Amino acid sequence: MPNHASAKKRLRRDSKKRVANKSAISALRTFLKKIKKGECTPENIQSAQKALDTAASKGVIHRNSAARQTSILMKSLAGSASKV
């Protein structure tokens, strides 16, 4: 347990951020799982891309990771469009 007031504040702040980050990552994984299951509609991919960009801008995930995942999404969209 923290002894100093600043350390106590830091503990409170970190726990709040942990909950928010966990929620954002969970939502992001849900979008990505839908697409991997085969629901490659442009709306699903657009919502997943928006979630990736939001998570990267808020610092939940690294921006290069978001860019890589977006690239994978775009490749899957192009692949599903060529099959139709």
Residue 28 · residue 66 · CB < 8 Å: no
C-alpha to C-alpha distances, 20 to 1, 25, 47, 62, nearest whole angstrom: 22, 9, 19, 16
Task: Retrieve residue 6's tokens.
Answer: 């600043």
Residue 24 · residue 55 · CB < 8 Å: yes
User: One digit per residue, pLDDT tens: the chain, 84 residues?
Assistant: 889 999 999 999 999 999 999 999 998 999 888 888 877 788 888 888 999 999 999 999 999 999 999 998 888 878 766 655
What distance in Å separates the CA atoms of residue 43 and residue 45, rounded to the nearest whole number? 5
Supply the pTM of this predicted model: 0.74
Task: Return the pLDDT at 82.
Answer: 60
What distance in Å separates the CA atoms of residue 11 and residue 2, rounded to the nearest whole number? 8
